[in-house]
Structure 1
């Protein structure tokens, strides 16, 4: 099916976004967005762009224009929440006038994210609607994700954890993959015979042929490593 997805790390530059316990939202969402991009690399027929790759300020209308000019299939804005120290959880937003496709996308992506966050006892604050500029001004399905509360000490600690963010990024990508029926790239394997790399392949028949050939030549050591 294929898809073109624009990931929008919120804030940046002079706009730190929410802050808590010395952590800036702009930094968290940029790291998370880069991890999302990395996880999309496991899939076929998907193109990904980020509205920013570094710590720079971008106006809200510029973020929407970025996606509109590329005629992408989905726009996802990445944020952290902030309120009182006791506020907690995850929530997603679409525009009140969103299309039925956008509603369906929100349902699927939200579900996959919560399947991951439930392992950490993160509260589901629900699927919501709001007249946010990046949701209003984009011409394609658009979703804004509020990934935990930076003002909550426990959730702040999770947002500092690179492995947690990596799992969250993977959950977001799995949700998008489900929406667009993306297929994973075949796993690549490296065949090494007596310390010499023979070749890299994803095909079982080539692996079998290489191993049989190595056995025929009385190889001392045959290694198969997943890349």
Structure 2
């Protein structure tokens, strides 16, 4: 009843121009949100995944193509024509300081034959992709290893005059697989294009802080199954990588299914080099050195220059 009488008083006041001032109770503000924390890298469910190792979290199990069922030498997933297996016993890696560095440089009038799309593997936001921590605190991050080698390659190609395209100059990205492939496929070039993806490898391990089996070591080069030019290209890179470093020759690799996305989706001859195992306790310290990284870069450049000269 009191509310009804107050409403009548308010109406009369409005009619006679005397609107009463009513006390207003302010609405409570919503509670403040906590400050935003930096985003944790998450895999995009719509992003295609490579066939390489998958690892998430500090205690993740590291899974790689080394964890696949053993291949039969006459099976569909085994390279039907691998490089010859070495007859000699496995020798220790060649001392980086004992070999000449740098490619044989062509004459100043050199003319590029191909556009080399150089892909440095992963970005800083890719989960996992890091070695166990050494006793002195050092650790290999694969994205940094890949980019260091790529930068050394670019420096030599600049001096020579070889045409190349840096597929992913950004650092704060993840696998970025679709974008990497799209960039390589769409970059405009009057020269035929070739694609090289540079990586470090990882073998099966219980977690990111555990080493793989000591026998899981060496260098391998992948190509798209059924691509004759891709296989020819892979064989040239694998030969130079083994000659330059002296690491175990794991030969050429290819699969009918589950192939690396960057090999199956690029519209050009494409290879992927795996340059040592960063969770092998013998190869990890080597992969952290400037000398070894320069060897890997030199081997890539020598392979590039052979293909520039002879084709594939």
Instruction: Answer yes or no: is the 8 Å Cα contact 1:6–1:51 preserved in 2.
Output: no
Q: Quick check: which has more Rg, 1 or 2?
A: 2
Give the drift of 1:31: 0.9
SS of corresponding position for 1:144: strand
Give the drift of 1:53: 4.5
- Within-5 A mapping of 1:19-98: 19-21=130-132, 22-70=139-187, 73-83=193-203, 84-86=212-214, 87-98=216-227
Distance 2:235 2:142 in 1: 25
| Structure 2 match to 1:8 | 119
SS of corresponding position for 1:102: helix
Matched, 1:172 2:300: yes
- Within-5 A mapping of 1:1-227: 2-21=113-132, 22-70=139-187, 73-83=193-203, 84-86=212-214, 87-98=216-227, 100-118=228-246, 122-130=247-255, 131-181=259-309
Give the drift of 1:85: 3.9
SS of corresponding position for 1:125: strand
Instruction: Answer yes or no: is the 8 Å Cα contact 1:40–1:48 preserved in 2.
Output: no
Structure 1: which 4+ aligned runs deviate by more than 3 Å? none
SS of corresponding position for 2:119: strand
Deviations 1:95-120 (A, max 9, x none): 1132x2222111111111111011xx
Normalising by structure 2, report the TM-score.
0.54
Distance 2:127 2:219 in 1: 20
| Structure 2 match to 1:223 | none
* Structure with higher strand content: 1
Instruction: Answer yes or no: is the 8 Å Cα contact 1:91–1:127 preserved in 2.
Output: yes
* Gap change, CA 1:31 and 1:55, over 3 Å in 2: farther
* Gap change, CA 1:17 and 1:41, over 3 Å in 2: farther
Range 7-16 or range 52-61, more displaced = 52-61
Deviations 1:141-179 (A, max 9, x none): 100001100001221111111122112101111101101
Q: Give RMSD over aligned pairs.
A: 1.8
Normalising by structure 1, report the TM-score.
0.73
Distance 1:142 1:129 in 2: 12
* Structure with higher helix content: 1
* Gap change, CA 1:14 and 1:3, over 3 Å in 2: same
Distance 1:23 1:47 in 2: 27
